[in-house]
Structures are given as C-alpha cells and as structure tokens.
Amino acid sequence: MINPASTSVASSYVHGASGVPLIGDTIGRHFDAICARHGDREAVIDLGQQRRLRYADLREQVDRLACGLLRLGLVNGDRVGIWSPNRIEWTLLQFATAKAGLVLVNINPAYRLSELEYALNRVGCRALVSASQFKSSDYLAMLAELAPELRDSSPGALTAARLPALQMVIRLGSDATPGMLNFDDLLVAPSDAERQALQALGERLQFDDPVNIQFTSGTTGNPKGATLSHHNILNNGYFVGEGIHLVPGDKVCIPVPLYHCFGMVMGNLGALTHGAAMVYPGEAFDPLATLQAVASERCTALYGVPTMFIAQLDHPRFAEFDLSSLRTGIMAGSPCPVEVMRAVMSRMNIGGVTIAYGMTETSPVSFQTAVDDPVDCRVGTVGRIHPHVEVKIVDGQGHIVARGETGELCTRGYPVMLGYWGDEAKTREAIDSAGWMHTGDLATLDEAGYCRIVGRIKDMVIRGGENIYPREIEEFLYRHPAIADVQVVGVPDVKFGEELCAWIILRPGTCLADDDIRSYCRGQIAHYKIPRHIRFVDGFPMTVTGKIQKFQIREAMLKELAGS
C-alpha cells in the first residue's frame, strides 16, 4: 500500500514514510518461500505456448534449470544473456539465474547485429540463451554471422573472435544447431548433491548482490548497462503490487515485454511477491490476443503503455470480450490522455488503474498514483512518492526548489541501481556523492506531494513507450561513408507519441535517398530506432558560438508536417 509521503511545506522534497518494511532477502530465498506458501496456485500461464505452471511446479522447473546452469560450469557473478520475446522460458531463466547467483542480462528482442555484439561484449556475457527467431529477426543467423566459429565448436566451448567472453549459446526449441546447447536439456532432474549445492549457494548470496543488467541508452552514444540488485527489484516489484492492491490468486495480464523493467519487475516480481499468476498473452503485444487472454483467464489486472490500451479499445472485436473480471492495473511509459483513462476505467472495467513513473536506473518505479485517486490526478500527475523512496527537485545549482517550481527530479533510496556495469565515470555522473540519482527529467511537486513530469533536460525521445536517445542514432549514422553530419530529433506522432526525424548533411559528391538510409539501418539497429522522417540539408541552425539548435530543427519540422 502506498502511504502518504512525509512532506516539507516549502521545499520540493518528499519521502515515502511507510510502516511496511522492505524485504530483506534475495530473490531466490523469497521465491522459495512464496512457492511453498502458494504451491497449488497458478503461477505462470503462457497462452502463446499453451503452458501452465503452479507455484510448486514453477519451483521445480526453476531449481532444475538453476542446477543445469551450474552444471555447465557457470559460477557466482557470471553474466547470462537472454535474447527472446515473452515466453515461459524467459521467466524460468529470470528466477533460475537469481537462485544460482548469476546476473541476467536483458537483451532487447529487436536488437540487430551491432547492438547484440555491443551488449554481449560490454558486460562480458559468458552464456546466451536465445530464441531461434522473432518476427523478422533470425536470431540464429545473426549469431552465426557474429560467431561463425559456432559451426565447428563443441556445444558450450565456443571461442569467437568477435565475442571473446561468450562460451555458451543455449537455444530455445527442440531443433539442434551446431555449437549450441538446448535449453530443455538443462531441465533434467538434478541429483541430490546438486540440489544441496544449490541450496547452500542460495544461503550465501546477499541481497545487495547484482542480479540483473538492463541496457539503457545514453545521451553520448552506446547504451549503458544499469546494474540492479536483488534488493532493488524485489522490493520495487512488491511495492508496485501493493500499490494496485494485488492479492493471492490474482491474475496479472502482462503483454508488455519482459526485457523491460515493466515486464520483469512490475509484472513478474509484482505478481510473485503477492502469490498472483503471471499471464502472457503471446510473444509480443497483440490487442486481440490480450483481450482474449483477459476474458478467457478472467484476469484481474492488466498492464500496458497507453498505446496498448488504445489499440485494445479501438479493436473492432472489443465488444465481444467480457472484461468484467478486471479490477486494477498499471499504465506507464508515456502520458495518458484523459479520454483514454476514462475509457479504460469505464469500458474496460479497470476502475483501479494506476499511473507509474520511474526509470530503469531506479528499478524502475518511484512515483505511482493510487487506485482511488481522482481521474485528473491519474492523467495530470504521476502520483505520489513510493514507500521508502526519497525525491527532491533541484535547480541548476543543485538547490532544492520551492513547491510548484520546476527543476530536475532526483531519486534516492533502495531502488537506485548499483551503477553502470564497468563504467565508474558514467555512474558518478548519474549518482552523486550523497546517493541521489539524477534522472534528467524536469518535474514539479505540488503541496499534496503529487508529481508532474514537465519535460526532459536532454533530448530523449519516447516512441510508443521505448526510450530513444538521439545521440545513439546519430553515432550509428555517422558510420555511413556518405554522411558528413547528422542531427536526430523527436517530432510529435499521433500513433506513437513521438517519431524520429534525421537531418543529414552529405559529403560532397555523394547522393543518397531516404530508402538508402533506412536500408543501412535495417538489420543493424532496432526497428523503432530507424528515423521515420529523413531530410537532406546543407546545414543546421546554430548559435554564434557554433552550438546546434535542435529546437529550431524541431520547429521547422513541426511547420512542415503541419502543412503536409
């Protein structure tokens, strides 16, 4: 339950005073306790694969997988990547790595060659669990291109020039692929000695140990690996679940991707800590599959970004489905229009839908509305501070501003990440000496403690719930031999909220078309990072000191698009 925050009358500082203690345990030990308490309750329902596990069954499968990973020679602290859409194996690996003392590395299913190579090497993944394919992405073909040595390697003994840390590729599915292990082979029943070793290892693990790395794009180029501990994400999942009043036996429909904190923390861990069931409608969001899942499973909670809820409300078959079982849920990722919120509450029966705000580096949630907040609070604010979390809003000199004034939102407390993997300099830039995480978001706090996000210090673009930093796209496009300079900005879009626009200066004597740029991006960067609007220009608007004025690029595009 989110309790009212203790607030200062004059300054923009709040802390979540709470009588509910933090969970002082590892994910593995808490997982075991929950499974023992709720053994006969449904735990995971994967409708895409038509698979169901009760909590007792889930524990057995997780223990088998954890022992299987240790049998491969993986040791405490090793990084294990997961490159897969939403599947029951994703969840088994999430809990198995936590129990085995391994660090799960979430890899976006939309990643292509250059992004996959960077992610695996950046954190030194020793093992990778991969689906065979997803949508238009042939994962096995991409891995074969990055590591042609797989073809002649013994499974589990890879030595690859471009992926020097990677030794094991574990594929999903029953087909055999040269050089790769099969996931199901790790699920054989362990010996008594292996089970005892797993139990002894679990007793030695500490809740401040790293358990998860999630890549978050940086304003200066390549993504950074936000490193999260058991304490970070277990507690955040729990208090998110408390915020929407989850109870044992609830069924949480999770159409959001598991590689995001939204899916694996707010979804999986939120459900686990309350003895609720995790329901996956399919591998990726589909409005019809989500409606079918809610109706057929009698789900009581539904998660999604606003565009997901809009797609369900607008689906031509919407009226066919009985959604009366719904009671609560979470909408996050981007602002919600008031009309959409009212429709979700009335037409979808989710009277207790809440808004949540946060960032990967804070596990992720630090603000959330309450199930009984007025509609205007749920669309105009991101709610009030979470339990055991502190927030202050500061000006450019780091001084706390008065209530109602705009400044940068800073967060401190149990959710703040351990740091960016292997990057002390970037960690110190983000987390100051007093432990405050500087979010880069501009916000205000009112007298009642409700927070409003009013802008971003940097130029981050949010497209359909995906955070995109233009600098990453710019640095990728700079690699093209015909591109002399490029600037990427976000422009408004009816469907996705924002879309990317690239202004490109070509080198003398070269010629490119829009499709040439898109072809260059395909297969190398995720589809949502490919600019929709591309313009070839002779120069950029600049200040007298030579600083590029991106706001003028945006204004010019707004005028052009408005007239088209």
Cross-sheet strand order for the sheet of 79-83: 181-182, 168-171, 127-130, 79-83, 103-106, 210-218, 221-229, 419-420
d(CA 257, CA 90): 11
The pLDDT of residue 253 is above 80: yes
- pLDDT (mean) for 453-460: 74
b/e map 103-140, b = 16+ CB within 10 Å = bbbbbbbbbbbebbbebbebbbbbbbbbbbebeebebb
Helix ranges (H only) for 364-486 are 375-380, 424-430, 470-477
pLDDT digits (tens, 9 = 90+) for 267-308: 999 999 999 999 999 999 999 999 999 999 999 999 998 889
- pLDDT (mean) for 524-539: 96
Task: List strand residue ranges (DSSP E) for 62-167, in order.
Answer: 79-83, 103-106, 127-130
d(CA 209, CA 28): 12
d(CA 385, CA 379): 16
- pLDDT (mean) for 507-533: 95
d(CA 546, CA 555): 19
CA 98 to mean position of chain CA atoms:
18
Tokens encoding 562: 């408005």
Task: List strand residue ranges (DSSP E) for 351-424, in order.
Answer: 352-358, 365-368, 384-385, 389-394, 407-413, 419-420
Q: ∠ CA 205-211-217 to the nearest 5 degrees?
A: 160
Domains and CATH numbers, the chain: 461-563 (3.30.300.30)
In this prediction, residue 51 has a pLDDT band, given cuts at 50, 70 and 90, of very high
Contacts 24+ apart (CB under 8 A), 310-314: 310/340, 311/285, 311/287, 312/287, 312/348, 313/340, 313/343, 313/344, 313/347, 313/348, 314/287
Helix (H) / strand (E) containing 100: none
pLDDT digits (tens, 9 = 90+) for 480-498: 999 988 999 999 998 999 9
- Work out the mean pLDDT of the chain and round it to a whole number: 93
The pLDDT of residue 4 is above 70: no
For 42, other C-beta atoms within 10 Å of its C-beta total 20
Q: What is the pLDDT of residue 472?
A: 83
pLDDT digits (tens, 9 = 90+) for 149-166: 999 999 999 999 999 999
The pLDDT of residue 1 is above 50: no
The pLDDT of residue 220 is above 50: no
SS3 447: coil
Poorest-pLDDT segment among 138-147, 274-283, 331-340, 387-396: 331-340
- pLDDT (mean) for 465-486: 86
Tokens encoding 246: 């989850």
261 versus 216: the higher-pLDDT residue is 261
For 169, other C-beta atoms within 10 Å of its C-beta total 26
Q: What is the pTM of this model?
A: 0.85
- φ/ψ (deg, to 5) at 215: -85, 130
The pLDDT of residue 213 is above 70: yes
> What residues are paired with 278 via a beta bridge?
44, 252
pLDDT digits (tens, 9 = 90+) for 406-435: 899 999 999 999 999 999 999 999 999 999
